[in-house]
A and B are shown apart, each in its own frame.
Chain A
Amino acid sequence: MTALDPGRPDDLALQPEASASGPARTRWFARKNRQAVQSEGWFAAALVSPALLVILLIVFLPLVYSVWLSFAEVDLLRPGGTAITIFGMRLPLYRFTGLANYSKVLSDPLYWQALLRTVYFVALFVIEAVVIGFAMALVLNAHFAGRGLMRAMLLVPWSMSRIAVGILWLGMLDADFGAINGILYRLGLIDHYLSFFSDGFTALNVLIVVYVWNQAPFATILFLAGLQSIPQDLYHAASVDGAGFWRKLWHITLPSLRPMMFLVLVLATVNGFLMLDLIYVMTSGGPGNDTTTVTWLGYRTAFSFFKFGPGTAILFTLTLICVALTVIYHRLILSRFQSE
């Protein structure tokens, strides 16, 4: 799992150096290398600078600017007043209002309701994604005909845009033309079509299931990679000792998958907090505000009501949660991988 590990640049240095070419060539190469160090630095700089420039302009500059916006009273119609000029572009600074946006946001009961709803959404989403993702991985790790095809199928829900996912599940769940209603009706289980989106709490749970459908295959892919790295001898030895399916699952499979489990947990948590496009397509935060999460509240505040100041403030509270999760992620996962 070196790929997950940014702090190990010496992987290749550990390999036996120039084993085939002997010491003479190595010495010659080292001398040539010293002369070339200057030009190699330029070479490396030339290779990384285009990507770095784009990231600087489109990620770091907006990041700094949006920190400022969250402390300002942004009036999009009056971009006058003080401004800074970077790369020939004039960025208005608007009126600095200190913590006003944050105190306004944090004193709004809507925000706290949305946060509570988000926590419910994320908790249930993470649990379902891990359980279903893991169950699918166990099934697909078995030996059966068509295993390769089944693994390919995993990519179908994941590689669809969430807009298409939303449209597709509206077609499954609609109260007039939904396939699930159609099937239940045919089977005689219901005598009238059910409405999945008129009750707020049901709608929120439906969103969770749909997002799980889209995201759990990703967890499955990671779990399958983890399952394949477990030595089969362990299972054979356990079978000899008379261990059944559940004992092997508890004592061999789950402990071996622990690093993968943490990875899936953290990625699912971050993805859960940031989910936006499904809400856009399926519920628009409604009915009422019953499916309004913090991300959706921030997006709506900024881009439906064009209140950029409070909008960025809401979104930054979310960013803090994500950054905290990232720190946990690095602490827990990367240290685990390094110790292996």
Chain B
Amino acid sequence: MPTVIARNHSKLWPVLGLYGLVALVALWLIGPFLWLFISSISEQRDLLARPMPLFPPNPSFANYAKIFGLVEFHAQHQSAQILPSLGNSVVVTLIVTALNIVLGSGAGYAYARFQHPVMKITLYAILFTRMLPVVVLMPALFLIMRQLGLQNTLSGLVLAYCSFTFPFTIWILKSYFETIPRELEESALVDGCSRLQAFVKVILPISGPGLVAAGAFTFVLCWNEFLVAQVLNSKPGTTTLPPTVAGMLGQANIDYSVIAASGFLSAIPAVILALVFQRYMVQGLTAGSVKG
């Protein structure tokens, strides 16, 4: 194991080799992401120059100013969708995350504490939905949303995202609540609390790590979701950031550096959130082991 090698300080080469490997992994993981940022602060002609400069000679945030509509440029009506889509993404993601924390934690708690045949059946049904490919539901969901009048609305997206994120949230929180001893609520009940009070006042305050894992995971999933938003909210101005940014790629007259700025903007909130809550996210990922 490298563990043993690294501890043996008398051997220089294995240590250097290890750090070489670490540098290689770091380059693989972060290099492309950094290049996206570098492209976004470059001018298109620098990217096209041969030899290509590894750092832009005149770095500027002009591309971000363009997509935010602060500077006029030839394709501004196409990039004008970025700001409203960003707003839609924020609204939908925050509402879905909040609903997951509130409703998902309640359901997760119920599944952790109450044993009943109905509970068992519904839990298996929920687990089953996690293995279902979302794309197979899309034609039918498209027709249903059209009938409900929820096509091209944010409520429709919120509803759809909740149904896809609840199973995961319920799953991690159920396993989290199961690690909390029952005696805690039992003594609260003896002290005269109602079941709901015991849950809200005793269990929830000590469930921070589980709630953070579920919330952060929901946020990242919703923020990055593409297919559902693309199909259900196809009207410009009603959709979220991923379909809007993807749509810019099809426009021949938009520079790659502008698209790189949009791509970086769409990636950065989820990346920062994942880095901030990495410990909880890793726990949640390991516990939940979902597709995605």
Contacts and interface: CB of A to CB of B under 8 A. Distances in A.
Genuine A/B complex: yes
24 contacts: A3-B289, A6-B124, A18-B186, A41-B116, A48-B122, A51-B106, A52-B122, A55-B129, A57-B159, A59-B129, A60-B125, A60-B129, A141-B2, A144-B18, A158-B274, A177-B47, A182-B50, A213-B28, A221-B285, A222-B289, A248-B1, A267-B290, A303-B138, A319-B132
* Interface-central residue, B1, B22, B170, B274, by most chain A CB under 10 Å: B1
B35 A168 contact: yes
B44 interface: yes
B126 A161 contact: no
Contact of A136 (B4, B25, B160, B220): B25
Contact of B139 (A43, A253, A312, A319): A312
Interface of A is mostly: helix
Interface stretch (A103-111, A120-128, A197-205, A269-277): A269-277
A16 to B, nearest CB: 10
A69 B140 contact: yes
Given A48-B119, A63-B137, A322-B131, A179 B35 contact: yes
B109 interface: yes
B291 A58 contact: no
Contacts, number: 349
Contacts of B249: 167, 170, 281
Given A9-B115, A139-B25, A276 B227 contact: yes
B32 A21 contact: no
A155 B278 contact: yes
B29 A217 contact: yes
Question: Max chain B CB contacts within 10 Å: which of A4, A25, A138, A159?
Answer: A159
A302 B274 contact: no
Contacts of A166: 246
B133 A143 contact: no
Contacts of A163: 224, 226, 242-243, 245-246, 263, 266
A44 interface: yes
Q: Which 9 A-B pairs have the closest CB atoms?
A: A182-B52, A142-B2, A58-B163, A161-B224, A66-B140, A159-B274, A3-B287, A167-B263, A62-B140
Contacts of B109: 47
Interface string B112-132: 011110011011111101011
A157 B29 contact: yes
- The contact size tier of chain A is 35 or more
A33 to B, nearest CB: 9
B222 to A, nearest CB: 10
B267 A164 contact: yes
Q: Which of A36, A161, A295 has the most CB of B within 10 A?
A: A161
Given A164-B263, A222-B285, 20 more contacts: A29-B189, A44-B114, A48-B111, A48-B119, A52-B122, A52-B126, A58-B141, A59-B137, A144-B19, A150-B25, A153-B30, A155-B275, A161-B267, A163-B245, A168-B260, A171-B39, A177-B48, A182-B54, A186-B51, A276-B135
Interface in B157-206: 159-160, 162-164, 166-167, 170-172, 175, 178, 181-183, 186-187, 189-190, 195-196
B26 A144 contact: no
B163 A47 contact: no
A215 to B, nearest CB: 9
Contact of B133 (A142, A155, A225, A319): A319
A88 B18 CA distance: 64
B80 to A, nearest CB: 19
B283 to A, nearest CB: 9
Nearest to B100: A51
Contacts of A40: 114, 195
A257 to B, nearest CB: 13
A245 B1 contact: yes
Given A163-B246, A167-B249, A318-B136, A65 B143 contact: yes
A54 B172 contact: no
Given A9-B115, A48-B119, A213-B28, A235 B141 contact: no
B58 interface: no
Nearest to A274: B133
B278 to A, nearest CB: 5
B33 interface: yes
A61 interface: yes
A26 to B, nearest CB: 9
Given A3-B288, A63-B132, A65-B144, A170 B103 contact: no
Nearest to A66: B140
